Structure 1
Amino acid sequence: MVENSLKFGLFLLPFSADIGLASLIIALLIQWQQHYRQIIGYKPHRGLGILSLWLIITTIFANKPILALEGLPNFLPGIGLWAAFSLFFQSFSRLYQLAWWLVLTSIPLSGLGFAQLKWGWESPLFLRSIGIKLIAYGNPDGRMSSLLMYANILAMYLLINFILSLGLWIYHYGIWREKSSKKAILPLIILTLAVISNGVGLILTNSRSAWGLTLLAMMAFAFYLRWYWIIGIAMIAVGAVFWSAWVPWGQETMRQIVPAYFWARLTDELYDDRYVTALRTTQWQVAWQMMLEKPWLGWGLRNFTPVYQAKMNVWMGHPHNLFFMLLAEIGIPGTLLFCGLVGRVIFKGFRQLIEWSSQLGMKRNHLLLFTYLVAFSSCILFNCFDVTIFDVRVNLLGWFLLSALSGIIEVAKSEVRT
C-alpha cells in the first residue's frame, strides 16, 4: 500500500500538486502507522525531533508569528518524510525504482514546456482548479516553466532528473555491454530521450545556476567513469562562453561563434533592467544583518520578506540563498543543527563510496549511490543561489532524495539488501 501510494503520488506530483500530494500524504501516514516505534526509536532521528522543536520555538517567538506559522509546512512535513522513508528506502532496488519513477515524469513535463514556449500552450481554467497550471510562453515570459510556478523551480526539477537519468543511462549501458541483451535496448532508448529532453529543457529555463551545476554534474560523471576527454571538451566550451562574455580581446569574434543566448545571460545583457534591490548580494547583506541582530532564535520563518520590504521598499520572497535565509529566520543554532544533520548523511555517503570503490560486486550499487549523491549535492548547491522550498513539488523531491540516501547509507553500515 505504501509503495503504490508513493508511486502514484510521485507520478502525479509534477502535473497536479494537489492530487499527487494527497497520495503522498496517504503513503506517509501509512508508513508512520506501520513503523512508528522504529521511527521514534531510531537514535539519529532524535536530531530531527530537536530540529522540529526548534522550528516551533522560533515560530512562537517570531517577529511576525503568523508568517512564521505559514513557513512551518515547508519544513515539518519534510522532516517527517525524512524520518519515515529512510526506513522505506533500505535497498538499492528501491533507490533504482525511485529514480525511474522520477525520470519517467520528467519526459512529459519537458514536452509540455517545449509546447508552452513554441506554441503558447496553456492549461484551461477547469484544470487550474486542481493545480495543473501551464502558462503560455513561460514564467517569466520566454523562459520555460512548464507546469511549475517559475522557470528556476523547473530548472531545479530538471537538474535532479537530468542527473538521475544520466546515472540510469550509464547503469543500463553497462548491462547492455556486459550481456548484449535486447531487453536493455528499450530502457536505453527511454533514458536517452530523458537525458536529451531534460538537458534541452535546462537550457530553455535560462537558469545560470542550473547551467553551471549541469556542467559540474557531467564532469563529475566523467571523472567517475575516467572519460577525461569529456572534461577537456567541457572546459573548452566553458572557456569559449566566458571569453565571449568578459574577455575584451577577440570578444566580437567569439560572440559570432557562441550563441548570444548564453553570453548575454551571463553578462545580464539579456535582462539589463535589474535594480540594486534585485541583486542577490543586496539580499544576502540584509539577511546577514538580520542574523546579527537576532543570532539565537532569528526573526521567524518567512519573516525575511517584511524586513526586506521595510528596509528596501521592495517585496522579495526570499534572499536567494537557503542558508542565509535560515540564519536570518531560525538563528545560528537551528541552522547549524540543520546543516549538521544533512551534512552527516552526505559525509557518510561519500565515505561509503570510498569503501565500496574496491569491491567489484558493488559496482552497480556504487553507481546508484554516486548518482544520488551528485543529485542531492546539486540540490544543495542550487539552493546557495535560490530557494526552492516554496514549491511543494521540488521541496518534496529534495526530501525524498535525502531520505533515500539516509536509508541506504544506514543499512550499508551493516548489511546491504539488494
Structure 2
Amino acid sequence: MTQLWRRPLHAGLEVLDGERPAAATLWGWRCFQVALLLLPASALLAGLLLFVALILGSRQPTAWRDDRVNWWLGGIGLWMVLGCLAASSGWLAWVGLGNWLPFFWAFWGFQPYLATPEARRRVALWLVAGTVPVLGTGFGQMVLGWSGPYELLGGAIVWWIRGGGNPPGRLSGLFDYANITAAWLALSWPLVLAAFLKHCRRWRSGPVALGLWGISFALVVTQVAEILATDSRNGWGALVLAVPIVLGPGRWIWLVPLLLLALLPVALATLPGVPAVIQAPLREIVPQSIWGRLNDFNSHGERPLALTRLSQWGTAVGLIGERPWLGWGAAAFSVIYPLRTGHWHGHPHNIALDLALSHGLPVAIGLVGLVLWLLIRGVRLGMASGALFERAWWAAALVLVVLHATDIPMYDSRLNIAGWILLAGLRCRR
C-alpha cells in the first residue's frame, strides 16, 4: 500500500528536480516551482513555499555584498525607513514598507533559481500552468454563473468570485477585480504565447506533441478572450505589445505593418478630431465596446473630474512638490486625496508618482531607474532578441512595467511577487 503513493510522489519529485541551476538547493528549487504553480490561486500557500525557497536561496555562493544592485536597493530601503520617521500617514507608512523591503531581499535570494535560460523557461511554464485557475474561474464566473466566495483547505485558499464579474459585466475571476485579473493575464500572456509557439514547432512529432499543441492553442485562445472580457484598456494594449517581441525581430518586417494596419481603424474610430465622414462608418465596423471604452464613452458626462487619472496625477504632483525629499508616507494619498477632492482613491495610478509621493523623489528615481536599467540591459545582452522564452520573459517584464504607468497592480501581493521574480530573472542574464 505504501508503494502506491510513493511511486507518484517519486515521479513528481523527478519532474521538479529537472534543469536545476547549480547554485539552487534541491528543496529550494522544488519549493520555488510549486509556489509559482500555486501563486495566482493562493498567495498564502505560495508565500510560505517562497519564503522557504528564499531562505535556502540566500545560502548561495555569491554574497549579497558582491552585487552592486543590492547596495543600490539597500540605500533605497534606508531612505524609505528614514522617511517613515516623519511620515504624515503614521503607522501606515511602516506597514507600507512590506510592499518593498522584503522584495529587495527576494530580488537577490531568488536569483539562484533563475540563473540559466533553462531555469527561466521552466519557471515561465509554471507561471503558465498557474494561470489555468484564473482562466477557469473567469469562464465559470461569466458563462456558468459561479458566485463565491469559495474556500479550500480551511480558508488557505479563498476565491472571491462574483457572479457576472466585478465590476459587473467585466471578467474578474479569482482576483475579484477586473483590472487586477487583466494585469495577471497580461503578464502571463507573453509566456502563454511562447509555450504555444514552442509546441507549434513540434506538433507533427507524435500524438503527445499534438496533444500539447492542442492544450497550448486552447490556452492562447482562452487567454485572449478573457483579456478582452476584462474590459481593461491596459490588458488590450498588452495583447498587442507582447506579440512582436515574442515572435522576434525576424518577423517585424511584416508583423509590425500588419499590426499597425489592423489598429488603424480602431484609432480612427476612437480618437477625437477625426472627421465624421471617416469616423462614423468606422464606428459601425469597430464594436462600440472597444472604441467607447478607449475614449471613456460609457462614462462621458457622468464621471467626476476627481475620478479621472489626470486629476489624480495632478494632485499627486502637487503633493510631491510640497514634500519632495522624504514624501508623505505610504498610503498617504488615500488619506489626503479625499480631503482635497471629496473622492477616495487608494493610489495615484502611476508607480513613479506613488513612490515619490510616499517615499520621496530620490526613492522614485532610484527604483524606476533601476527597473529601466534592467530592461535596457536585457536588450543590450540580447535577451529581448534571443531564444523564444528569453524574449517572452523580457516581454512579460516590459508589459508589467508599462501597466504601472496608468495603474499599480503590484499592490496585489501575487502580482508583486511575480514582478520581482521577473526582475530577478532580468538580473540573472549575463
TM-score by length of 1: 0.89
**Equivalent of residue 418 in structure 2, options 385, 397, 412:** 397
Q: Note the 1:254-403 alignment, pairs <5 A.
A: 254-272=282-300, 273-353=302-382, 366-403=387-424
Note the alpha carbon deviations across 1:295-340, whole angstroms, 9 max, x for none: 1111111111111111112111000111111111111111121123
For residues 234-245 of structure 1, the aligned pairs below 5 Å read: 234-245=259-270
Task: Tell me the CA shift for residue 166 of structure 1.
Answer: 1.2
What value does the CA root-mean-square deviation take over the aligned residues? Answer: 2.2
Cα distance between partner residues in 1 of 2:29 and 2:401: 27
Alignment match of 1:159 (pick from 173, 186, 195)? 186
- Please give the alpha-carbon distance, in whole angstroms, between the structure 1 residues aligned to 2:34 and 2:223: 22
Aligned residues of 1:107 and 1:198 also touching (Cα < 8 A): no
Superposition pairs of residues 9-408 of structure 1, within 5 angstroms: 9-32=35-58, 34-35=59-60, 38-124=63-149, 126-127=151-152, 129-130=155-156, 131-174=158-201, 176=202, 180=205, 184-222=209-247, 224-226=249-251, 228-246=253-271, 247=274, 248-272=276-300, 273-353=302-382, 366-407=387-428
The answer to whether the Cα contact below 8 Å between 1:287 and 1:325 also exists between their aligned partners in 2 is yes
Q: 1:151, CA displacement in angstroms? A: 0.8
Contact 1:106 1:198 in 2 (8 A): no
Contact 2:84 2:93 in 1 (8 A): yes
* 1:212 CA displacement: 1.6
Distance 1:274 1:22, change over 3 A: same
Per-residue CA deviation, residues 178-208 of structure 1 (Å, 9 max, x unaligned), is: x956654333322222221111111011111
- 1:124/1:294 CA distance change after superposition, 3 Å: closer
Which whole-Å CA distance do the structure 1 matches of 2:31 and 2:162 have between them? 29
Query: Could you say if the C-alpha distance between residues 259 and 40 of structure 1 is closer, same or farther in structure 2, counting changes exceeding 3 Å?
Result: same
1:7 aligns with 2:64: no
Distance 2:279 2:401 in 1: 34
The amino acid of 2:257's aligned partner reads G
- Cα distance, 1:383 vs structure 2: 0.4
Equivalent-residue separation in structure 2 for 1:125 and 1:183 (angstroms): 34
TM-aligned CA distance change 1:62 to 1:322, over 3 Å: same
- Distance in 1 (CA, whole Å) between partners of 2:399 and 2:36 is 20
Question: Post-superposition shift, 1:225?
Answer: 3.4
Task: Please tell me the residue identity of whatever aligns with 1:160.
Answer: L
Mapped partners of 2:392, 2:334: distance in 1: 35
Question: What is the rounded CA distance, in whole Å, between the counterparts of 1:254 and 1:310 in structure 2?
Answer: 43
TM-score, with normalisation over the residues of structure 2?
0.86
Whole-angstrom CA distance in 1 between matches of 2:212 and 2:289:
33
- Whole-angstrom CA distance in 2 between matches of 1:55 and 1:172: 46
Of 13-22 and 227-236, deviating more is 227-236
- Mind listing any 5+ residue stretches in structure 2 that lack a counterpart? 1-26
Please give the alpha-carbon distance, in whole angstroms, between the structure 1 residues aligned to 2:356 and 2:92: 17
| Counterpart-to-counterpart distance in 1, 2:213 and 2:54 | 32
Letter paired with 2:390: L
Give CA deviations for 1:157-196 in whole Å, capped at 9, x if unaligned: 001111111123333434x28x956654333322222221
The answer on whether the counterparts of 1:70 and 1:302 sit within 8 Å (CA) in structure 2 is no
Q: Which amino acid is the alignment partner of residue 5 of structure 1?
A: C
Could you tell me whether the CA contact under 8 Å between 2:150 and 2:159 is conserved in 1?
A: no
Distance 1:210 1:120 in 2: 23
